[in-house]
Structure 1
């Protein structure tokens, strides 16, 4: 398994070793010892699985209390996955990183607590799975606008009117007025 820090060093791209043959493939998607050696030493308490159609954009979500670290991967299709640093004391505050994750490339992304997270579906459908370090807490959930100019994520998307958003995500706020982490 190859674990590489991104341009925001706490966010890590994980590329598993994949063993393929005529029958299919095998890969290790989680190994506590290997991840701990790479600085990812958090207990996971919840697994989530979503399915989304093309042009769906989910995010940018975070929890102001009970912040969640997430280990994310795609098991069908492809997404462009984004993490935004909301840690006010961080040297990378307000910066974002994005990676294509797909069933084909089998990459995973570690997003530590203190980040907003979202993804955009680039294929007809995508199945997205992730492990969380804290339970979902709707009363602490916050949503940063996906198109906030204060962050300026460069989403690979069609015209804004083609982006599929939930009503909740439409109500996201700008980083200028958002709750952030100390």
Structure 2
């Protein structure tokens, strides 16, 4: 596998080795020892979502039980976004966007303490994400997907969002208790 660091410490793009021939392809989507060497692992929950073109999901996080997420697309194409919300981080409030698709098999490692979201670029996208902690509805937090202070460059003109995702506050409106309880790098 090839690992690429992003501009935000801890946020990684992982490209697994893909073996292709006339029958199709094979890859290891996770190998505990190899991924542990780069600080990725300890998964306790797997999530699967299917979304239509133009859907924006996020930006989500857990407050007291922050989740690290290994994100990949098994069908389609998305613009995946992570925002550093780790209090005390030198890159607090900065974001990184990465295109993930079923052709490249690229993965994004989103450490605990980040808000995460994505936009569907294909007709349909199936997204898998392995999480380091379980989802707790009462612990959920979020940031407005279109927060002008963040300046995320979403590649969609008319996004489709849930009522919950339309109601998240801007980052500037969150106090320390509203942020993930995660250590800075």
TM range (shorter): over 0.9
Shift of 1:143: 1.3
Q: What does 1:18-167 correspond to in 2, within 5 Å?
A: 18-40=18-40, 42-158=41-157, 162-167=158-163
Shift of 1:9: 2.2
Q: Give me the TM-score of the superposition, normalised by structure 1.
A: 0.95
User: Helix, strand or coil for the counterpart of 1:33?
Assistant: helix
Distance in 2, matches of 1:28 and 1:37, equals: 15
Q: Give me the TM-score of the superposition, normalised by structure 2.
A: 0.94
Shift of 1:177: 1.1
Distance in 1, matches of 2:105 and 2:180, equals: 31
Question: Where does the alignment leave 5 or more consecutive residues of structure 1 unmatched?
Answer: none
**Superposition misfits of 4+ residues, deviation over 2 angstroms:** none
Distance in 1, matches of 2:152 and 2:129, equals: 21
Shift of 1:39: 2.3
Distance in 2, matches of 1:110 and 1:172, equals: 23
Shift of 1:181: 3.6
Q: How large is the RMSD of aligned CA atoms in angstroms?
A: 0.9
Question: Where does the alignment leave 5 or more consecutive residues of structure 2 unmatched?
Answer: none
